[in-house]
Amino acid sequence: MNERSQMTITVARVELREILPCRELFLQENNFQIRYDACHARGWTDSYLLRSEDSVVGYGAIKGQERDGRDTVFEYFVVRPFRKYASDMFRQLIAKAGADYIECQSNDLLLSSMLFEFSTCVKSDVALFEDHAMTEHTVPGAAFRLRTKNDEVFDHRTEPVGDYVVEVNGEVVATGGFLCHYNAPFADLYMEVRKDYRRRGIGSFLLQELKKRCYLAGRVPAARCNIQNVASRTALLKAGLRVCGFMLLGTIAEERLQRTE
């Protein structure tokens, strides 16, 4: 009898609080921004605990491609002594949760390996960014400052109005800020530039200054953007960030769940 057949693994749906100790290990190992971290606190997830005999050896978390559904594995963690059984445990998680998809960050090595092992039709439409270098861009006549209640702000089409602005000739031509819905200490940078002031370096200048404010607030700047959004990607790179991963989505293939020896 081999070691695999001797080991008994159980998968049970539990309350969020029961996976949190194991999730702390997940966050320590994956020391980068977790895009869907806030899904747990917002009640958009189902939690599953993995046990071997009486010991907790990992967890899985399921969210929906649509918010009210629960069809996508988006977090999966197994403690290192049991990681050689990760594939078998993942099969059991899928069977218990009835998931149809795997969505993960490419820099999450464990779950991305499960994605490529058990799914097909893998695609990506979002790039993830981490801070890499400090820059000192300037834009003639442009000033970065906090937004005030008296500022006249242009209509925003893609991002919320930020707490900080770039002003040129007395006009607000860009706004931005950072959101703290990522796992600490990471924060999500965002910004929008008025249409008639784009392609002038305003976006990179704003992101550069937002990074500084982010660090002063005790946070580490991070960001994401659509792969097809060339302008935003260029601004992020010019502001000293770099691509650190991609959001991947795959469809679980039933034939790949069949165990082969």
pTM beyond cutoff 0.75? yes
Strand partners, 129: 223, 243
Per residue in 95-125, pLDDT (tens digit) is: 999 999 999 999 999 999 999 999 999 999 9
Amino acid at 1: M
Backbone Cα Rg of the chain: 22
Closest CA to 163 of 141, 187, 183: 187
- Every domain range in the chain assigned CATH 3.40.630.30: 134-239
Q: What CATH fold (topology level) applies to the domain 134-239?
A: Aminopeptidase (3.40.630)
Helix or strand holding residue 189 (H, E): strand 186-193
pLDDT band at 259 (very low <50, low <70, confident <90, very high): low
164 neighbors 146 (Cβ within 8 angstroms): yes
Please, where in the chain does CATH 3.40.630.80 lie?
3-126+247-257
Q: Which helix (H) or strand (E) holds 216?
A: helix 202-216
CATH of domain 3-126+247-257: 3.40.630.80
How does pLDDT run across 179-195, given as a tens digit for each residue?
A: 999 999 999 999 999 99
pLDDT of residue 255: 81
**How many helical (H) and strand (E) elements, i.e. helices and strands, does the chain have?**
7, 12
